[in-house]
Amino acid sequence: MVLALAGCASVNAENSVPQMEQGIQIGDPAPGRAVIWSRADRPARMMVEYAFSADFAGSKTVRGPYALEGTDYTARQELTGLPAGRDVYVKVWFEDLTNARSRSEPVTGHFHTIGRRDDIRFVWGGDTAGQGWGINSAFGGMKIYETMRRVKPRFFIHSGDTV
């Protein structure tokens, strides 16, 4: 652990707070739960704040796991006991292990827990824009993604490459 913190000092000289360059991922939904994933650029502790309104009124904060070298500085926090059929707003940041006031800029996200009467739509695609095919700037690029967005899917499965 001493070596990890010593390596952290050189990163801190360049950026005084942890960075979250990959944003967040929300997945593994199940009744009453979801998993929030993210990655820091150094040893840090993941923090997750969640609420059922966009203004974060009545929010709860979960002190998440440590993101360490052994996990490539990734961390995941499971949220449990979530009500069915509700919008959930999350705010994620990382705190430096040597100074909790040194924290990354928060990244926000949103998901919906599946209720008994919710319609579940998903879209899928894959292998788009390879070998010069798929993008046509004459009619606005790749309009398929706008069409997929309008369907308001709960899930998007992308199987294959995006070149």
Q: Are 114 and 107 in contact (CB under 8 A)?
A: no
Question: What residues have CB less than 8 Å from 17, skipping those under 6 apart?
Answer: 96, 102, 103, 104, 105
Q: Is the pLDDT score of 4 beyond 50?
A: no
Where in 31-121 does DSSP place strands (E)? 33-39, 44-51, 60-67, 74-80, 87-96, 107-112
Per-residue pLDDT at 7: 39
- Tens digit of each residue's pLDDT (9 = 90 or more) over 97-146: 999 899 999 999 999 888 888 777 888 887 777 666 667 778 777 778 88
Mean pLDDT, the chain, rounded, equals 85
**pTM of the full structure:** 0.72
Confidence of residue 3 (pLDDT cuts 50, 70, 90): very low
Per-residue pLDDT at 8: 42
Mean pLDDT calculated for residue range 62-72: 97
Per-residue pLDDT at 130: 67
Three-state SS at 137: helix
The one-letter code for the residue type at 98 is T
